[in-house]
Amino acid sequence: STPRRSRRRKSVAIAYEPGQGDGAEPQTPHWEPKHWQEQLQRIREMRRSRDAPVDEMGVDKCYDTSAPPQVMRYQVLLSLMLSSQTKDQVTSAAMLRLRQRGLTVDSVLQMDDATLGRLIYPVGFWRNKVKYIKQTTAILKQKYGGDIPSTVEELVQLPGVGPKMAHLAMNIAWDSVSGIAVDTHVHRISNRLKWVKKETKYPEETRVALEDWLPRDLWREINWLLVGFGQQTCLPVNPRCSQCLNQDICPAAKR
């Protein structure tokens, strides 16, 4: 007897939109947020004076521009490690104290933990950062001849270095745009403006979501632009919506 044919029909993926019917490849419409260009232009306008803490004391202002390139890159990485969970003013002051001691790979390796801790205090999680800085600096000496790695993949392998720091290090130290650096401000504002298709919980999710639609030539600018905007106007608590030029086109605005 012939085996019974299964009554369940196999579902066939339809490879064209209804009405096409010619077997052509589907054209996925490119998603982008509503009003994003206008919102971006208005944020640029609000940031025109460049007087937020990030502009005056951010990581790109913390290293010695007259130092040899290798030393400069090391100082960029160190300031990024210190900046995590720390206000720009505090990071800037800690970097100044370190630089007054002559901030190089060798000087940090020769420094005892207590001295390093005293110099970087009160940055956030300073005890952990002492440990990470020592471990990372030793790796840079042994594996990279005292320089920092030139890829995101290698940078995030270093103790205490996350994706945001790695993309900023590529940008500032190597003058290379590898991705969008997403910190707490960029993450918060991207969700408030609905610059992500669906709400994201973590900065890394936000980075992937932003890179999916934001034109690459804007990737370098977007970090400092949104960080300063987040420090001055789009605050974490009690955002200053009444002072924001985007009030009429922001989904999160308190009108």
Contact yes or no for 46/147 (Cβ under 8 A): no
Residue 45's Cβ-count burial label (10 Å; 0-12, 13-18, 19+) is exposed
From the list 172, 158, 157, the residue with the least C-alpha distance to 79 is 172
Pick the catalytic residue: 61, 129, 141, 164?
A: 164
Q: How many CA atoms lie within 13 A of 134 on its CB side?
A: 15
Helix axes 113-120, 88-100, angle to 10 degrees: 140
Q: CA-CA distance, 241 to 230, in Å (whole number)?
A: 12
Please confirm whether the linkage preceding 26 is cis (ω < 30° from 0).
no
From the list 235, 237, 227, 238, the residue with the least C-alpha distance to 83 is 227
In the residue annotation, 164 being an active-site residue is answered as yes
Q: How many CA atoms lie within 13 A of 13 on its CB side?
A: 3
Backbone angles phi, psi at 96, to 5 degrees: -65, -45
Task: Report which DSSP code applies to 53.
Answer: H
Supply the DSSP string of 14-52, one letter for each residue.
Answer: --S-TTT-S-PPP-PPPP--TTHHHHHHHHHHHTTT--S
Active-site residues: which are they?
164
